[in-house]
């Protein structure tokens, strides 16, 4: 369970890597003003101006969050289902990269393998291994986003 604390730091930082907003504050503000049900519906609305790849990345974040929720609530079925979905999204995302670098291909393959490990560990109800899998997946995400920013010259 000690690894869950690191996830509470990593998952919000992934939001920042994508769009610069903080999901914790956004969710809290939305809940205060319009209720939790409306916040959930707002998350599901398509965001205008997003590329297909950005939409896929947001979906990945949503599923990563669902995995964290499943781990904290001992809902291993939820963890396994979202791990499968993340692997599928990762494969779909690779079609959106015009010139994938060898490092991108390696990181993408690692992420997909980690998602399969997470699914297996969730089905085994191995909370420690599943939590470590999620941490490894977060690290892969961060490394890949950093690599793509450097490769594409974004943020320099």
Name the one residue in this structure whose structure tokens are 């995400």: 141
Q: Are 116 and 83 in contact (CB under 8 A)?
A: yes
Top CATH class of 2-152 equals: mainly alpha
For the chain, the average pLDDT equals 77
Task: Tokens for 16, please give them.
Answer: 């920042």
63-104 pLDDT tens trace: 999 999 999 999 999 999 999 999 999 888 777 777 889 999
Going by the DSSP 8-state scheme, the letter that residue 95 receives in this structure is T
pLDDT score at 51: 82
* Residue 48 CB burial class (10 angstroms; 0-12, 13-18, ≥19): exposed
Say whether pLDDT at 24 is over 60.
no
Nearest to 52 by CA among 110, 15, 8, 97: 97
Distance (Å, rounded) from C-alpha 138 to C-alpha 136?
5
Q: Which helix (H) or strand (E) holds 100?
A: none
Average pLDDT estimate for 4-16: 44
pLDDT score at 155: 56
Greatest CA separation for the chain: 46
Q: Where are the alpha helices (DSSP H) in the chain?
A: 2-19, 23-34, 36-44, 52-72, 76-94, 102-123, 127-152
Residues 6+ apart with CB under 8 A from 104: 97, 144, 147, 148, 151
């Amino acid at each position: 369970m000690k690894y869950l604390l690191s996830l509470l730091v990593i998952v919000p930082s992934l939001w920042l890597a994508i769009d610069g907003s903080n999901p914790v504050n956004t969710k809290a503000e939305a809940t205060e003003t319009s209720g939790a049900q409306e916040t959930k519906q707002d998350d599901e609305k398509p965001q205008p101006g997003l590329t297909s790849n950005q939409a896929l990345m947001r979906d990945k974040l949503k599923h990563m969050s669902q995995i964290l929720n499943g781990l904290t609530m001992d809902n291993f079925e939820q963890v396994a289902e979202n791990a499968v979905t993340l692997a599928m999204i990762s494969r779909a995302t690779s079609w959106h990269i015009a010139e994938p670098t060898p490092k991108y291909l390696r990181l993408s393959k690692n992420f997909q393998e980690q998602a399969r490990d997470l699914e297996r560990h969730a089905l085994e109800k191995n909370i420690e291994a599943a939590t470590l899998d999620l941490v490894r997946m977060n690290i892969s995400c961060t490394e890949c986003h950093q690599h793509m920013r450097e490769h594409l010259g974004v943020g320099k």
